Each structure stands twice: as C-alpha cells, then as structure tokens.
Chain A
Amino acid sequence: MKWWLWPLGLFLVLAVFLGVGLTLNPREVPSPLIGKSAPHFQLPQLHDPEKTFSQKDMLGKVWVLNVWASWCGPCREEHPVWVDLAKTQVVPIYGLNYKDKRADSIAWLKRYGDPYVLSVADTEGRIGIDYGVYGVPETYLIDKAGVIRYKHIGPVYPSVLKEKILPLIAKLNGNA
C-alpha cells in the first residue's frame, strides 16, 4: 500500500470512533461490583439506632438499596418514584442514609414521605465507599444470593424504573 493513503485511512478510522463516541456518556462510571456479592455492612437503623441492619438479613430476597441524603437535591427529584413503588409492594426498598445528620434525615422523610422499609445511617460514608458511591443518589438492585445485579447513578426517573429495574426484578424473582 502506498504510504500516502495511510493518513486518510487512519483519519477515517478516527472519525468512526469519534462518531461512536458521540453516543456514549463519558461521565458514567460502571461499577465493578456488578455480579459480585454486596459488600458487608452492619449499621445502626436511622429511626432506631439501638438496632442494626445488615445486608445479610436480606439473603433470599430481591431488594433495592437506595443511597440518599437530606442535603442532596437530586434525591428529592427521584423520591416520588420510590414512594410510588413502595405502595405497589413489588420490591422491598432499603435506604442507605449517606453522610447525613439524623435529625435532618428524619425531618426530610417526614416531609417527603418514607418509602423505605428502613434506612441505615452511614454517617462517616465508609459503607458508601465500599459500595463505590460517588454521586448521591445511587441505587443498587441485589438478588436473592446477595449479589449486586444492577446499579444506577443519579436520580431514577420513572422511565428507568419501568424499562430497566422492574423487568430485572421480575426476572430475578421468576428464575428462583
């Protein structure tokens, strides 16, 4: 091949990649935890700090772990979605209250509704790090064996719930 065709060829390959790149979101970081066991935690419950809750307590059930905080604006955006979902009782929703003050969180839930079976308080944000949280809200779907099957970063909109999360829940429940 003549060398003067090389630049053109390389450029066209580059252009194809750039074109594909336009359809991707560079900000989204896929979690390496998908397909792995949910990291262990044993944290005090928000409403009843005497009692603790662990991810082990949920073995045998498909459940949703939603990371939220009262200081987090986008959390309020997705909150109605959880409140509505909780009413349908399709799946138990647990909250991981991330780096928050207890009084603030309880007031927040009172004001906007509490879709959670219970929330646990991760005051220091340690468990958040174990779960690879980097932008609140984040949502994890965990199967009966305690394996993380899906993670969503940012607010869950009704479309995401309908197209991704609900079908996956049905599948996880059906297969067992």
Chain B
Amino acid sequence: MIPELGNFALVLALLLALAQGTLPLAGAARGTQSWMNLARPAAQGQFVFVAIAFGCLTYSFVTNDFSVLYVASNSNSGLPLQYRVAGVWGGHEGSLLLWVLMLSLWTMAVSVFSRHLPDDIIARVLGVLGLVSVGFLCFMLFTSNPFDRLLPAAMDGRDLNPLLQDPGMVIHPPMLYMGYVGFSVAFAFAIAALLSGRLDATWARWSRPWTTAAWMFLTLGIALGSWWAYYELGWGGWWFWDPVENASFMPWLMGTALIHSLAVTEKRGAFKSWTVLLAIFAFALSLLGTFLVRSGVLTSVHAFATDPKRGIFILAFLVVVIGGSLTLFAWRANRVGLGGQFDVVSRESFLLTNNVLLAVAAGSVLLGTLYPLFLDALNLGKLSVGPPYFETVFVPLMAPALFLMGVGPMARWKQAHVPELATRFKWAFAVAVAGGLLLPLTMGTWTPMASFGLLLAVWIVASSLTTLASRLKQTPGSGIAKWRAQSRSYYGMLLAHMGVAVFVVGVTMVKSFEAEKDVKLAPGESVELGGYTFRFDALNDVKGPNYVAVRGTFAVTQGASAVGMMYPEKRMYHVQKNAMTEAAINTRFTRDLYVSLGEPVEAGDGKAWVVRVQVKPFVDWIWGGCVLMALGGLLAVLDKRYRLATRRQSAPLPASDARLTAAS
C-alpha cells in the first residue's frame, strides 16, 4: 500500500510541477497576476508530495519490503538500519528521487526567502525550476520508478553494495546533490533575467547568495566523496580523475567562476552576458554529469547500472533544457548593455582573468573526460585519458589562477596601478619565495614541484594577510571595531582563499613526499617506511553484522616511541560476495599512516599477506582546505547586505538601467 501511495504522490508532484512550470511563466509574459501567484503554492505543494514519496520509499526500506523491486535490489534484512536508510539513495532510482527532493527543497527555499523580489521575476524563477522538475519527475516515472513492484516478492534483498555501507555514503550524496541541484537556482535566475530582459546588477545581487550556497554544498560534497574514496576504496588514493569525479568537478569549477563573475556583475553591472552564460554552463555541467553517470557512455568505478533507454531520455532532456536556454541566450544576449566603466588593470579584470582560467580548466576536464568517446564515435581508436594527462594539463592552468588569487583582493576596484600593487606585495612575495625554497627542506628532500606548490600556498596566505592588514589600517576606529567593520562576505572570501592555500599544501605534500610499500608479511615480521616501523602482530577472524572478515593487528612505532595499533580488515560480505579492503588509518595533524591488506600469499604456511603500507604527509589538509572553503562560502551567504537588500528593495527602484550599479 505504502509504495502505491509514494507512486501516487509522485504523480501529484508531477501535476503540480507542470502547473508550476507553465502558468506562472505564461502569467509573467502576459502580465496576469493570478497566474503568477500560482508559483509559490505550486512549488510548496510539489515539495510536500515529493517529500511524501521520499518518506514512502524510506519506509519501504526500513520495513524491508522486498516486494518493491528497488528495495529488493539495494537492501537486505541483515543490513543495519542506518544503511537501510542510506540505501534509499544507494541506487539509480532512489538517488534520482533524492535529486528531485533536493530540487523541490531548493525551490521551496526560493519561494520562502524571496518575498522582496518582483512578482514577475519570482514567477519566472519558480516556473523554470518547475520545468526542470517536470523533466526529472517524468524521467523517474517513465524509466526509473523506484516504486515498481516485484511480484512475487523476493525472500530477501540483494543487499546494498558493500562499498556504500559506510557513514561517508550516508552524507556524501545528499551534500553533492544539494550542490548539483543548487545550481539550478542560479540557472533559473539567469533564465528569468533573460526572459524578462532585465539583466542588471540587481539580478546578480539576487542570485549571488543562492549560487554561493550551492557552491558551498558542492564543495563539501566533493570533499566528502574524495575522503570516502580515500578510506573506503582501500588503496590510498584521494582523487582519480575518474569520469564520475570529473562530472562533479566541472560544475564546481564553473560555479567558482560564476561566483567571481557575479561579483563583477553586481559591482559594475558589467560582463552580464558572460555571467549568464556561466550560470547556464554550471547547471548544464551538472546535468551532463547526471547523463555521464547514468547512461553508461563512459567507464567508471562508481557508475550506476546502466540502461540505454535512460541515456536517451536524459540526452533528450539535456538537449531541451540546455539547447533551449542557449538559444534563448543567443537571442537575448546581444541586447545587454555594457555596464559600468573600469580599467584594464583593476580588480574587475583580475576577477575576470581568473574566471577565464577556471572556465578553461572546466573545459579541459570536459575535453579529457569525453575525448575517448569522441575518438570512439569517429572510429579513430580507443584510448584512455587518466590522471597523468589531467595533472599535466591542470597544473599550468591553475598556477596562474592561484597567483591571481593573491593579487585580486588587493587590487582596487575600477582602477589599479601596477607599481602600487608591486610595492604592496613586495613583502608577501618575498615571504612566499623564502617559504617555497625552505619549507620543502623540512621534509628532508627538495623538489621543484614541492617548492613551487608551497610557494603558491604561502603566497596566497601572505598576500591575503597583507590585504587584510591594509584594509584594517584604512578603517577608522580602534581595535575590535576595525575588525567588526569588515563585512562577513569579506571574511568569507578570506577564509575560502585560506582554504585553497591549505588545500594546495595538502596536495603538494602528498604528491611530493608520500611513500608506499607493498610487502609480503607474515605475523611477527615488520616493515619500515618513512621512519615508522609497522609490525604485523596477528591475524584474526572477526564477524560483522552482515560480513565476515580477517583483521590484521599492526603495532606501529617511530624510533623508540609507540605510535599506536592499526587494524586493517579484509571483509567478505555475505550477500554480494564482494571482498572489501578496509584500510586502517592513523591520523595526525601533519600525516596519515595507511595500512591495507592486499591478498593472502598462498605459498608457505598460509598466514602471510601482501600488505600495503603508506605514509601520507599532510593528506588531511586536502579535505581540511575544502571545509575552510565551504565555511568561507557560508560566511558570505550570511552577509548582512543580502538582508539589507531585502529591506531596500521594498522602496521602488528604477527598474532596468544597464548602467545601474549596486553599492558594495
């Protein structure tokens, strides 16, 4: 009964989405107030029904209703409760429902937090979001219904993929989807602006907090995914340039460019068509990611089971949504005014240069990801594009962007002077060079790559602090008052940039100084790596709720002092018969020790294993940096001026003036 209820709720949600996607848009075009007024209730009703459907599916999982095909395929009566809940989004159909839930949640948020927006704008924004929702609900109902029955019911389920039975899996997809789907709001604002012809600084101000919020979630989602891969896949890598990872990274790069471009548009009313294009691209890449993951056109470690019919549906949807909006863009973009004036050397220009670099980076990832497909489609052979390619291409693109990150915040808006900038940054640059040259020596060896990476990281920190110091000096008042006079979004920017620096330190140190060894070890033997001694003490059988495992016991010492015990496992899950490597990780502020069991060595007494031990300096800084970036985003979203804008908007403003610019 419950699954049918869920199915029915989805149908009702689709009907409401249809209403939300058509009438308000038509109303805005014709000026019919009553039609425009439908947008909010329709959006909120849609959210309620999607939430009901989601609740129904969760209920089916929790109660082990194996007469539902999706539950039978992704759960098992032996599965612990928390993973039964996470199992809701453990497969294609349910994760699609999560997508739709997130979409309706964002839509709901827009309908609630946008009281200050003009009626026609809000009608258009919600209308566009409604249309996107129609597409996904149709996709779900017609090709991938999570409520499909399995008759007769299965005795027991086929279990959730053991890789996904992990706390990281419980939160990674919701975060990631919040980010992915969040860009639909920026997209909807962009389309609304194009439709209304009112593409101005106010538009940028409205969509800025939404974009930053989505970006924040995406940052966290990607970081969580990377961290999960690191400890769960069992071989110590944290980023593989796998198509599915790239699918989440491309919208992130575009979104980052968009955030910075929105700053220029809000400040100067300039480069509006470019900003709109970035908003369309960010969401287009989110949709493309969905296509790549769910259609099976590329091989990937973590793609869903695929079905060509689904691929065709998403492709068609992609063509309608993206093709449609790019057509709208081509039609409207030429009518956009130029905006305010600024110099070739100015903060605006630095931001836009960074923008170009980020967009090119996203384009390169796209090229590398799809290149095997291009060649194959043209019958020119098969090849692989992997980490060595991306690393070769990516570093030269990102290095100047990181350098500009230091310069940009210091440069004046409108007009900056190179000699003045040079004087201001003299010290920051000297510190960066010294740091870059000397810091690698603390690790014992000096390599150009390590030196360069650390130079960039120190540069970002030093130049940011220089900027902060001079900003504080210019602020009147004393002590704490000076600090409090700076806006939250300024601190947000600072924090996010520091996050990038921390991230760069992590990546540089891991890439330059990580050590690993694959050795054959029997209990009693030990191996030495990077100053640590790993002694293999024992091997035991252990029993989990739905798996059996062998667990190794390793005692780790550094010189004479004990570091700790580590317990890597090799698990065999009962239902899917998958062997899973559960690595043991010993974390300290500046390094991780990583031990994983490979394969048993058959020869000999049968107790020896191939063991992989790794020392990974500063690896946790990678994710720590991402968390700082996300926190920076959070601070920026909470900035007072977005709420100030709320009040100010109530006073009538001269509507559309291309040269109108917003106060800081």
**A contact residues vs B (CB 8 Å cutoff):** 2, 4-5, 7-8, 11-12, 14-15, 17-24, 26-30
Contact = CB atoms under 8 A, between A and B. Distances in A.
A97 B277 CA distance: 58
B81 interface: no
B320 to A, nearest CB: 10
Contacts of A30: 381-382
B237 interface: no
A26 B298 contact: yes
24 contacts: A2-B330, A4-B330, A4-B333, A4-B334, A5-B330, A8-B329, A8-B330, A12-B323, A14-B370, A15-B315, A15-B319, A17-B374, A17-B377, A21-B373, A22-B308, A22-B311, A22-B312, A22-B315, A24-B376, A26-B297, A26-B298, A26-B299, A26-B376, A30-B382
Given A15-B318, A20-B377, A8 B295 contact: no
B263 interface: no
B284 interface: yes
Interface in B351-371: 370
Nearest to B326: A8
Interface string B253-295: 0000000000000000000010001001100100000010001
B291 A18 contact: yes
A129 to B, nearest CB: 18
A8 B370 contact: no
Interface in B49-74: none
A4 B327 contact: no
A12 to B, nearest CB: 7
B372 interface: yes
Contacts of B377: 17, 20-21, 24
A7 B298 contact: no
A7 B329 contact: yes
Contact of A21 (B326, B327, B334, B376): B376
B322 interface: yes
Interface of B: 273, 277, 280-281, 284, 291, 295-299, 308, 311-312, 315, 318-319, 322-323, 326-327, 329-330, 333-334, 370, 372-374, 376-377, 381-382
A17 B382 contact: no
Nearest to A19: B315
- Label chain B's interface by main secondary structure: helix
A7 B326 contact: yes
A2 B273 CA distance: 13
Contacts of B327: 8
A4 B298 contact: no
Contact of B372 (A11, A12, A26): A26
A90 to B, nearest CB: 31
B594 to A, nearest CB: 28
Contacts of B334: 2, 4
A12 B372 CA distance: 18
Nearest to A4: B333
A5 B329 CA distance: 8
Nearest to A15: B319
A7 B282 CA distance: 13
A11 B376 contact: no
B340 to A, nearest CB: 21
A24 B333 contact: no
A29 B382 contact: yes
Nearest to A7: B326
Nearest to B310: A22
- Listed from nearest, the 5 A-B pairs whose CB atoms lie closest are A21-B297, A8-B326, A20-B377, A4-B333, A21-B373
A18 B284 contact: no
Contacts of A4: 273, 329-330, 333-334
B322 A11 contact: yes
A24 B373 contact: yes
A5 B327 CA distance: 8
B326 A17 contact: no
Contacts of A8: 323, 326-327, 329-330
Contacts of A22: 295, 297, 308, 311-312, 315
Nearest to A13: B374
A26 B369 CA distance: 12
Contacts of A18: 291, 295, 297, 315, 318, 373
Contacts of B373: 17-18, 21, 24, 26
Nearest to B363: A10
Contact of B297 (A15, A24, A28): A24
A26 B372 CA distance: 8
A21 to B, nearest CB: 4
Nearest to B373: A21
A11 B315 contact: no
B323 A15 contact: yes
Nearest to A16: B377
Given A17-B373, A22-B312, A27 B323 contact: no
Nearest to A8: B326
A14 B371 CA distance: 11
Contacts of B277: 7
Contacts of A19: 315
Nearest to B332: A4
A23 B377 CA distance: 9
Most buried by B among A20, A21, A26, A29: A21
Contacts of B372: 26
A26 B281 CA distance: 26
A15 B381 CA distance: 20
A19 B312 CA distance: 7
Contacts of A5: 330
Nearest to A27: B299
A7 B332 CA distance: 13
A103 B298 CA distance: 40
A11 B326 contact: yes
Contacts of A23: 308
Nearest to A18: B315
B87 to A, nearest CB: 27
A29 B299 CA distance: 12
Contacts of A28: 382
A4 B325 CA distance: 12
A118 B257 CA distance: 64
A27 B372 CA distance: 11
B462 to A, nearest CB: 38
Contacts of A26: 296-299, 372-373, 376
Contacts of A27: 299
